Structure formats: C-alpha cells, structure tokens
Structure 1
Amino acid sequence: MKFNRRDFIKTGGMVMIGSLAAPSFLGGCTGSAADKAAGISFAQNHFGVSEQDLKKVLAAALEKGGDYADLFFEHTYRNNIGLQDGAVNRAASNIDFGMGVRVLSGDQTGYAYVETITLDEMLKAARTAARIANAGKTTAAVNLTEIPVTNNYYTVQTAWDEIAVKEKMPYLQKLNDKVFALDKRVNKVSASLGDSTSHILFCNSEGQMYYDYRPMVTLSAVCIMEENGKIENSYAARSYRMGAEFLTDEVIETLAKEAIEKTSILFQAIKPKGGEMPVVMGAGGSGILLHEAIGHAFEADFNRKNTSIFADQLNKKICNENITVVDDGTIPFNRGSVNIDDEGIEGQKTYIVKDGVLTSYLHDRLSAKHYGIPSTGNGRRESFRMMPIPRMRATYMEAGNVTEEEMISTVKKGIYASNFTNGQVQIGAGDFTFFVKDGYLIENGKLTQPIKDINIIGNGPKALADITMVGNNYKMDNGTWTCGKDGQSCPVTCGMPSALVSKLTVGGES
C-alpha cells in the first residue's frame, strides 16, 4: 500500500505493514478454560508475544514523542453453515489475525497494522504510526499492569470450537422442518447459523493491559409462503454473545413461529396512502429510530467536530420529560455488550438523555480528552485494521407510563409500525428514512388493516421532540443488527417501548 506521508500527517491515517502469515495455532482456540481464565498469560502465549516485546513496540510507537499509544491484538475465527431446499448445503470459515498500533499526538492520529506478529514487523508498524503522528519530543518508558475484568457479560458454557459442523447441522434442519410444519403455505425456507470467537489482547502507554474472549452467534430463517399465486416473505433472527449453549429447541420454536407470523400477515397487507400523520412505533425493533436518527448524533466525534445537530445541546432539554435514552454495554449476553471496549475502558451504562435532558455524549478516548471527562467506553473498532471511534453498543429507550392501547386510542388516523428492515440517516442534519416491512393502519383509535412496504421519513431531533407518549412495554430487539460508520461495521442492538410520534411523513400510495 502506498501512502502520501503529508496527507496522513494532515488528516491522520492508517497503513498496513507486512503480509499474512498465519501461525500454526490458527485452526481454533488453544488452551483450556482454566488457561483462558488466567487472562494475560494465556493471551501472551496465544499471540506469541512477551511483556518485553510489548514494551519495545510501545517505546517505538512513542519514539517521535506521541502523547499516547496502544496495541490491539486480535485473533477471530468465524464459521457459517446454511440450509436451502431442505438440506444444509453450504459452509464457510474465516480467520482474521493481526495487530494494530495507534499513536495520538494532540489531535493527530497515526495508525498502522500488521498481519504477521513478529517483533520486527510490529516495530515497523509502530514506527510508521509514530511518523504519522510525529510530535517531535521524547516520551517516558512504559510499565504494564493487567486490568482486571471485574464483570464478564458473556460467559461461555460451551465454546464454539468444541462443536463440529455435523453437530450444528441438525439445528438448522429442525428449524426448517418446524417452519414447514407450522403452515401449509410455506414453500421455501432459507436458514443460516453463524458463530465467531475473538481473542483480544490490548495494552497501552498508560501501562494498562487486558485480555477479552468474545463469542458471538447468529441464527436466522427466511420464510417464503404462497397463497393463491401470491408470494410473500419475511424473516426472524436472533444474535447474542453466547457459546453453543444458545442452540436449544426453545430458540428454534420461537424463530419458526415468528417467521410464520411475520410472513402470513403480509397476505392481508396493503400499501396505505402517504402523507404526514401520527405514527405509533411498536416496541422492540423501532429502536432503529433511536440508533439511526438520534443515536449517531449523540456520538461525540460528530459533536466534537460540531457537525451534529446536538453539538450545543448538552445539559439542555431536548424532548418530553418522560423520555430516557440509554446506551448500555453491560447487558448480559447482548450482541452490543463489551466487557472492556477496544481502548481499554470498562463496559458501562451511559444515560444519554435523562428525563428529556441531554446528559451525555458517547465518548472514546479522543473525544473524552477534548471535553475533559472520562470515556464512556464507546471506543469500538471493526477489527485490528481499524482505528477505534465512538460507536453505540445497545441503545434503547426506557419504559414510560402508558399502555400501547392508550396511545393508539388517541390517534384518529395514522399508522402503527411493527417491523423495520433498514434505515439511513444524514448525521449532521438528522434527516432519516426507514423502511417498514409491516404494521397496521390506525383508524379512530383502533388497529385495522395490515400494511406493508412503506417508508417513514423525518428528522431525528424533531421526531424525538415530537414523541408525546411512551409505553410501559419496553422490549429489546435481539436481532442481527450491524451498524456501519466511517467504513467500519460493528455489532449493536436496539430497543424501545412503544412510542407515539405526533407527526412523521409516511411514504405510501399517492
């Protein structure tokens, strides 16, 4: 990879050093459960690095005088099997291995990574990052101390590397057979099971060092049904930070029923007339509104750069006093949870909005330093190839004080949005568009005709301010939500109780 040093010095940047050379243990997780519990010693053996190596690399990263440096080691292996036409007929595995080094000097960031973890290659990467973030001064030597992981939010009973492909296959077959058994209109099912395991070793120039073992599993089913020549499809999915104990008959039963229910309702659904109207956001998946339309605008990098509409709203009332919005990295087994973030900050629960007042942004180390406060533990990255940036974890609205029926009863003409498939937002202005897979018309205070395939269009801050009622039925959507930002993807979750937005633009029939 070629790069222009002047461009990187001007804007901050990243470069790869070396090439892929997988060590012999990359076939799977090595070491017993007791070894993993030992933490740092297991991690150093796993990556083949000593504490002396880490100190040398950090010293090289700071030899041009940066304010701070960190090293992020990652070994991730992913497996996926898929079912189609009644049989498990595809499988894939992927291994990712390497180390990234970051150097901070004021507002300047240098970043480089290697896919070959030898001392020589790591030193090259460290010196490249140091040149990018050149500060022209010397920095003191580093002593390393292990950070104790006081809370483990995703303990594993059965590691994924203990389960062979042939042991996973029956669960997809059960899911397929269950969907077909529930409704004679089903003519096709596509299902997939994916698992991943990440070993993370982190250390920095502040002397902190930690090891984290991160599991993930996703199970999904797409259901295709036919009725009188008309074809409809929908899906159901779950994702958690769990081991193979996730695979139970109960989760298969739940997904099968949900896939059938979400598909069958579409045969009666219509596309309603569009226009501006009240919208009741259903509990659970409507949390995408919080994530896309509002949550990104609370990430501190956008506020630090004054590009967020909330940049001057901290400690001000921005919405109804019944609204409290949280970003939480501490929910057990949640897809978005972190024991420790990718910058060495312990996972925590952050109140972004409390009783209608904007109380906190979501910070990484850079933005926290800018605002002179501790990080909220939102420094996350897609992999060792990427720099950490402020990212959401599990973002949700806390329960309110009315029932869903009460808020629906106040709407003369509007819609109820049940399931969302995707959305996009313009961060600065907060303008958004969401695709609603299904829902209902609201007429004279009652749910009537099912609806499908519409867009909801609006402005995030305005929509937040226009929420007039919040339900008492909080629900987290534990689907396969993945957030994209600055070319990086991260696993997240979202949730909320039902909420009444007094007016949004609904894109339907003219």
Structure 2
Amino acid sequence: MIERFSPFEELVDPDQALAILRDAVAGADDGELFLERARSETLVYDDGRLRNAGYDATQGFGLRAVRGAVTGFAHSTEITPQALREAAGMARLAVGSGGGVMAPSPAGPGPRLYPGADPAEGIAFADRVAQLRQIDAFARDLDPRVVQVTASIASALQEVVILRPDGTIVTDIRPMARLNVSVIVESNARRETGSAGGGGRSGLAPLLQPDHWQGLVREALRIAQVNLRSVAAPAGVMDVVLGPGWPGILLHEAVGHGLEGDFNRKGASAFSGLMGRRVAAPGVSVVDDGTLPGRRGSITVDDEGTPSARNVLIEDGILVGYLQDRQNARLMGVAPTGNGRRESHAHAPMPRMTNTMMNPGSDDPAAILAGLRDGIYAVGFGGGQVDITNGKFVFSCTEAYRVRNGAIEEPIRGATLIGDGATALQHVRAVGNDLALDPGIGNCGKQGQWVPVGVGQPTLMIGGLTVGGSAA
C-alpha cells in the first residue's frame, strides 16, 4: 500500500491508480499521473454596481507517457478507475511498446513557499462586496473628474497531486489572490484611464487593508491624471530608459521565451546554439527564480514534481542556461530546472518561466536618467507581441515620458517600443542598483496555455530602440 493521497483518495484507490499508471508507461522513458482540484471566485464592481460574481470549481486528471520526443497524453474531469484505464490506453498507444528506461523521480520538494489555505477563507461574500463599494466611493471622492471606477477581487486555490511510476507522491496546495483597480477620468471632453493592482500566493486579507487598497486607488488615479496631460509620442530610433519592476515584462517576452528548452532543442529560438557565448552586454545577468516566497510566479514544485529553483540564464552577458522540463532536459542531456508547468490537468507540461528578472547593477538610477540626452522614459507597459524565432517585439507603453538633456518632461501617449531581444540585450548601456519586482499582475501565454508569472528588473538604459509614435 503506497501513501494515500488526499483529496483524491475518496475517488480512486492509490494502489489501483499506480497499477494503471505503470501499465501506461511500460517501455516509456517518463510519465506521471497529475490530479487537480481547483476553485476560484471573482467579483467585479463596475460603474457603481456589482457587475459580475463568478465561482468556478473543477477537478480532473492528466495522464502522460513519454518516449523520446513523443508524448502520449490523455485527460478527463472524471476521476474513476475506468477513466484512468481509458486514458492509459490512449497514452500507451501514442508512445508504442517502446524500450525506454524510466527516468528517476525528482528529488523531494523544498520548503513551502506559500500558505496552503483558501485565500478567501474568513472573508464573507457581503464583506467583499462592501469593500469594492468602498473602493469605488474612495476613488470618486479623490477627484471629481473620475467618471468610472472598476474594481475586482479574485481568489483561487489549486490542489495538486503528482503520482510517479515508482510510487512517489508529490503534493502542492497553491493559493492565489489579487485586487485590481481601474479609473477613468474626464476633462475637457477627453477621457483617460489608469490602472493598478496586484497580489500573489497569499490570502486576500492583506490586500483588503486600507493602506494597501487606498494606495492602489491613488496610483490608478495618478496614472489617469498623467495621461490627461500626455501628448502624442514621437517616432524614431532613440535611447530608452526603462523603469524598475513591471517593465521587466519586456525582458520576459523578448528574452525569456527564447531561453525555454523546447524552443532551443528544436533550434527555433534566436538563442539556439549560443550556450557559453556572449548574448548580452557586460553587466547583464538574467535569472528565473521560482523560490521567492509568496510571489505570483513561485511554485514549491513544478507540475512534474521537480522542486522549484533559482536558475541563472545569462551571467554577465554570457548565456549559461535554459529553462527545462523533464522531457526536454533529458533530450538535451541536462538536468531539469523545475520549470515544467501546465495550465491545468487538461494540459501537458512544457518549459515555462516563473519569476524572471534581471539582476541589479551598480549604476545610480538618477544618473542613468541624467545621462539620457534625448529619448523616452518608460515606466508602464500594456500588451505586446513577440516572435520567438527571432525575438522581435512590439510593446505598447501605458506610462511614458519624453526626456531631454536628462530632464523628465511631458508625458506621452501612444508610444510603442520595437526591436528584438538579442539586439536589445547587446545594447544595454546602464543597469541600475534598484531591482524591483512587479506587483503581482503577470500572466504568460504559450501554445494556448496560461500560467501566472512574475517579472522584475532595475532601471535600464537601452540604446537605439525604435519608438513608434501616435498621431497628434
């Protein structure tokens, strides 16, 4: 009898599940049974009323068999012996009889990085609605130009059990909480928006403390007020200073995806075949760290059961590592890095980022800005597009300023940053000593799967980025 695995033991006997899994992976290199139970709640208060109240609960399993580069994967929301047997048959059919040697199980998980409790526990539905109503009123009282307020509270809890063919069981209970505020201000027939928010793997209670949510409201209003004063962005090739924290999303998209193992194994990344070579300016070091307690992108173990880790990807400009799941690591002859992630039981794992950041340098942020003769200072970003094969990106700025002779001047609207990740890294001219992480707002999409992530960076100066402007 193997160790029983709550909360699924009432649905399927662990020994029976293990026997079915072993049959599915006979002759394969790897495989696992991933069981998930998840629930989430979202409240949206918009334009003076509760616009949406949603609750979702799901459960299911994903069963995977891997041989070489081939994956057999089947999933179901029905956790029964019969469903497991049918999934095992499909998985085994995909990989064939094989002749592989089963890879050893991951090492045991490290210390827990977040509480294993429902984030909304102890906070009544009515109290959450009242809190949203209070946020709405507070925002309107701050500035009579506020014409619309949208505030949302979201919480989720995911319970995961991973069963390996040798009988090893890995469990993880993953909370997530978030509070977001958006305001629209109007003046002289012009409307502008500002947003702020964040959260992480913790309870809702800290996010609903007055000093926290009032700070978010003030920040959202500040951004909207700045945008009211903004003028059309210039266009051309110019130097750009990126602020600390959330602007690291550019690093995540333009560089991070290109350092994931599957793209590099297949030769599809702009960084393929460059291990050990200079890919960035001296002083540029990039890490992916899933071990930061309570952060949105952190995971005690990944979705294959591998412990999370702090992985150095670029060290002083030299490419030293890729992000790996078990399959790609084995095919590339390296160790897994704890980055095998999946959106849910209905998805197979793949190499994904956790909290990706650039390490701080030694430059003073004020001196970096003072050294910008004619360019852009970008501190907020919205959506972006990236081509993984060449690293080319286009990012829109949600808060940016024109800088002349080292002085921050008028805010600008409609600015986009255009370039490619590999070139941008080579053109980093200064790295600040003020590393900051984002407030906990990141989601990452890849091949149709979405997972929570974190980003971070210090103040950076990048030379020669193309800035796309807006019409006056």
TM category, shorter:
over 0.9
* Corresponding residue SS for 1:150: coil
* Corresponding residue SS for 2:37: strand
Aligned residue runs from structure 1 range 352-391, under 5 A? 352-391=313-352
Alpha carbons of structure 1 residues 90 and 104: separation in structure 2 relative to 1, 3 Å: same
Say whether 1:128 aligns with 2:90: yes
Q: Tell me the amino acid that sits aligned with residue 283 of structure 1.
A: P
Say whether 1:251 aligns with 2:212: yes
C-alpha distance in structure 1 between counterparts of 2:114 and 2:251, whole Å: 25
Contact 1:62 1:138 in 2 (8 A): no
Q: Tell me the amino acid that sits aligned with residue 59 of structure 1.
A: R
Q: How much does 1:407 deviate?
A: 1.3
* Corresponding residue SS for 2:89: helix
Say whether 1:456 aligns with 2:417: yes
TM-score (ref. length: structure 1): 0.88
Contact 1:158 1:244 in 2 (8 A): no
Say whether 1:422 aligns with 2:383: yes
Aligned residue runs from structure 1 range 170-209, under 5 A? 170-209=130-169
Q: Tell me the amino acid that sits aligned with residue 46 of structure 2.
A: Q
* CA displacement, residues 190-209 of structure 1 (integer Å, 9 cap, x when unaligned): 11111111110101124421
Aligned residue runs from structure 1 range 314-463, under 5 A? 314-463=275-424
C-alpha distance in structure 2 between counterparts of 1:93 and 1:114, whole Å: 21
Which range is displaced more, 331-340 or 473-482?
473-482
| 1:107 aligned partner | 69
Alpha carbons of structure 1 residues 445 and 394: separation in structure 2 relative to 1, 3 Å: same
Contact 2:183 2:221 in 1 (8 A): yes
Contact 2:119 2:176 in 1 (8 A): no
C-alpha distance in structure 2 between counterparts of 1:468 and 1:146, whole Å: 40
Q: Tell me the amino acid that sits aligned with residue 195 of structure 2.
A: Y
* Corresponding residue SS for 1:110: strand
Please, which of 16, 20, 32 is the counterpart of residue 53 of structure 1? Answer: 16
Contact 1:44 1:50 in 2 (8 A): no
Q: How much does 1:250 deviate?
A: 2.2
Contact 2:342 2:449 in 1 (8 A): yes
Q: How much does 1:370 deviate?
A: 1.7
Q: Tell me the amino acid that sits aligned with residue 159 of structure 2.
A: H
Please, which of 461, 470, 480 is the counterpart of residue 441 of structure 2? Answer: 480
Q: Tell me the amino acid that sits aligned with residue 258 of structure 1.
A: E
* Corresponding residue SS for 2:219: helix
Alpha carbons of structure 1 residues 326 and 216: separation in structure 2 relative to 1, 3 Å: same
C-alpha distance in structure 2 between counterparts of 1:156 and 1:138, whole Å: 37
Alpha carbons of structure 1 residues 364 and 171: separation in structure 2 relative to 1, 3 Å: same
Taking only the aligned residue pairs, the percentage that are identical comes to 33
Q: Tell me the amino acid that sits aligned with residue 118 of structure 1.
A: T
Contact 2:119 2:177 in 1 (8 A): no
C-alpha distance in structure 1 between counterparts of 2:100 and 2:29, whole Å: 9
Contact 2:38 2:158 in 1 (8 A): yes
Q: How much does 1:472 deviate?
A: 1.1
Name structure 1 gaps, 5 residues minimum.
Answer: 1-39
Q: Tell me the amino acid that sits aligned with residue 359 of structure 2.
A: E
* CA displacement, residues 424-477 of structure 1 (integer Å, 9 cap, x when unaligned): 100011100001012110111211111122111001100011001001111111
Q: Tell me the amino acid that sits aligned with residue 239 of structure 1.
A: G
* Corresponding residue SS for 1:306: coil
Q: Tell me the amino acid that sits aligned with residue 288 of structure 1.
A: I
Please, which of 154, 173, 187 is the counterpart of residue 227 of structure 1? Answer: 187
Please, which of 190, 207, 226 is the counterpart of residue 265 of structure 1? Answer: 226
C-alpha distance in structure 1 between counterparts of 2:224 and 2:51, whole Å: 24
C-alpha distance in structure 2 between counterparts of 1:313 and 1:290, whole Å: 18
| 1:210 aligned partner | 170
* CA displacement, residues 145-176 of structure 1 (integer Å, 9 cap, x when unaligned): 99754311112566435433123222212222
| 1:116 aligned partner | 78
* CA displacement, residues 45-103 of structure 1 (integer Å, 9 cap, x when unaligned): 5562322122122122124x222220100111111111122233420111121000010
C-alpha distance in structure 1 between counterparts of 2:431 and 2:420, whole Å: 19
* Corresponding residue SS for 2:311: strand
* Corresponding residue SS for 2:257: helix
* Corresponding residue SS for 1:492: strand
Please, which of 70, 87, 100 is the counterpart of residue 32 of structure 2? Answer: 70
Alpha carbons of structure 1 residues 458 and 403: separation in structure 2 relative to 1, 3 Å: same
C-alpha distance in structure 2 between counterparts of 1:383 and 1:122, whole Å: 17
Q: How many residues align?
A: 468
Alpha carbons of structure 1 residues 395 and 146: separation in structure 2 relative to 1, 3 Å: closer
Alpha carbons of structure 1 residues 190 and 103: separation in structure 2 relative to 1, 3 Å: same
C-alpha distance in structure 2 between counterparts of 1:236 and 1:176, whole Å: 14
C-alpha distance in structure 2 between counterparts of 1:119 and 1:82, whole Å: 39
Aligned residue runs from structure 1 range 282-293, under 5 A? 282-293=243-254
* CA displacement, residues 484-504 of structure 1 (integer Å, 9 cap, x when unaligned): 101111111111111000110
Contact 1:208 1:344 in 2 (8 A): no
* Corresponding residue SS for 2:17: helix
